């Protein structure tokens, strides 16, 4: 079965028992091309009533209405950016940087998402400074980097697609109208046009580096807001990790030696698998060395700050011993755990729907 079909089946299958999607077709056409067609979505009238009842913008209602009833509209216009950007494609260094929350861009098709301009540019939509930091790091390290091209509010590439958090309806005190009442077809459209191409780009790059003979180091670059839901965060940087601390431990030491206040699994825990999806899937599950680096946003809001933090992180990476560029012996265990967690997520989702 072609890989694209497998992925679409993965996206569609768990939803077959829900009311929102009653079925789907996928397979291979006579000309050999793969296809996937979610069949049933929430009735158009139901969608329209929802938006009218909640008083959302007419433009959003119209676009989401169209969006929810057509499996393949042009979510991204021809003149809009690609769902991901690959930087330093010619690099052979066995390091890949990934930046899931790099962009504050929304597809034009989705209108203003029911949000004001300030919210669309805020930490709710994008990891402020993370793209600049990842770019600088890629340049300093001579490593490749993959950047997601659209806001985490459109679809969060660092969440399991089946997790409700992939389409946040609320973020740090603000309702997100553009994600309210999404049909499964609307979610699948965003997955097809944005989420899947991004993850395929990450997977392809890792496959290329692995084929070159070394287990690549995968580093996720994120940033966090200094105050979240009223809580002030004291850390200047945080390293998120789970079972494999080959990178996390020396990196925390390195950042501390450079004078930073470093959170060990702060401000989030890498042991909460659902919050570290990209690394869990692409690195931890196959035993590749990895770490998630979180930097407080006020440290990287200017070029000078970006340069300083990039120099510190790059120094920690360069100091890693060659032995870390290898597959962890715990890979099988991690892979089975990742599978178990995914199954738990699906079960939780089914349980919530049954309540």
Regarding 159 and contact with Zn ion (CB under 5 A), the answer is: no
3-state secondary structure of 219: strand
CA quadruple 153, 155, 159, 165: dihedral sign: positive
Regarding 127 and contact with Zn ion (CB under 5 A), the answer is: yes
Residue 138: name the closest of 77, 83, 97 by CA: 97
Regarding 156 and contact with Zn ion (CB under 5 A), the answer is: no
**Residue count, binding to Zn ion (CB under 5 A):** 3
Nearer to Zn ion, 101 or 120 (CB): 101
Report residue 239 CA to chain centroid gap.
17
Site for Zn ion in 179-208 (CB under 5 A): none
Nearer to Zn ion, 61 or 128 (CB): 128
Q: Is the peptide bond before 144 cis (omega within 30 degrees of 0)?
A: no
* Beta carbons of 184 and 38 less than 8 angstroms apart: yes
The CB-of-274 to Zn ion minimum distance in angstroms stands at 13
Of the candidate residues 42, 56, 63, 101, the single one contacting Zn ion (CB under 5 A): 101
- One symbol per residue from 58 to 97: x for binding Zn ion (CB under 5 A), - otherwise; what is it? ----------------------------------------
CA distance 273 to 37: 30
- DSSP per-residue codes, 237-267: EEEE-SS--TTHHHHHHHHHHTT--EEET-S
Of the candidate residues 123, 136, 168, 222, the single one contacting Zn ion (CB under 5 A): 222
Q: Token match 């000309």: residue?
A: 31
The CB-of-40 to Zn ion minimum distance in angstroms stands at 34
Nearer to Zn ion, 136 or 222 (CB): 222
The CB-of-130 to Zn ion minimum distance in angstroms stands at 6
Binding positions for Zn ion, rule: CB under 5 A: 101, 127, 222
């Amino acid at each position: 079965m072609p890989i694209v079909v497998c992925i679409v089946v993965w996206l569609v299958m768990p939803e077959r028992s829900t009311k929102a999607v009653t079925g789907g077709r996928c397979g291979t056409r006579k000309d050999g091309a793969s296809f996937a067609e979610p069949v049933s979505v929430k009735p158009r009238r139901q969608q329209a009533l929802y938006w009218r009842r909640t008083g959302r913008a007419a433009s959003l209602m119209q676009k989401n209405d169209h969006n929810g009833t057509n499996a393949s509209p042009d979510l991204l216009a021809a003149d809009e950016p690609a769902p991901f950007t690959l930087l330093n494609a010619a690099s052979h260094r066995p390091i890949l940087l990934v930046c899931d929350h790099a962009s504050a861009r929304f597809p034009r098709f989705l209108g203003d998402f029911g949000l004001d301009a300030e919210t669309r540019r805020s930490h709710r939509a994008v990891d402020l400074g993370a793209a600049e930091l990842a770019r600088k790091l890629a340049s300093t390290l001579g490593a490749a980097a993959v950047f997601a091209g659209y806001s985490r509010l459109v679809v969060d590439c660092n969440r399991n697609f089946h997790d409700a958090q992939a389409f946040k309806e609320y973020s740090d005190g603000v309702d997100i109208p553009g994600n309210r009442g999404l049909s499964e077809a609307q979610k699948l459209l965003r997955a097809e046009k944005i989420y899947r191409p991004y993850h395929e780009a990450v997977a392809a790059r890792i496959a290329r580096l692995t084929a070159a003979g070394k287990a690549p180091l995968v580093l996720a670059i994120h940033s966090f807001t200094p105050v979240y839901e009223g809580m002030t965060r004291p850390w200047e940087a945080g390293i998120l990790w789970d079972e494999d601390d080959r990178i996390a431990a020396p990196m925390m030491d390195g950042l501390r030696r450079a004078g930073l206040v470093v959170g060990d699994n702060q401000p989030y825990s890498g042991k909460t698998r659902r919050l570290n999806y990209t690394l869990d899937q692409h690195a931890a599950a196959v035993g590749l060395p990895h770490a998630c680096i979180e930097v407080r946003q006020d440290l990287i809001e200017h070029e000078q700050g970006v340069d300083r933090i990039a120099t510190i992180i790059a120094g920690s990476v360069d100091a890693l011993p060659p032995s870390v560029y290898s597959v962890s012996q715990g890979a099988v265990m991690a892979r089975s755990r990742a599978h178990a967690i995914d199954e738990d997520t699906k079960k939780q989702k089914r349980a919530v729907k049954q309540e």
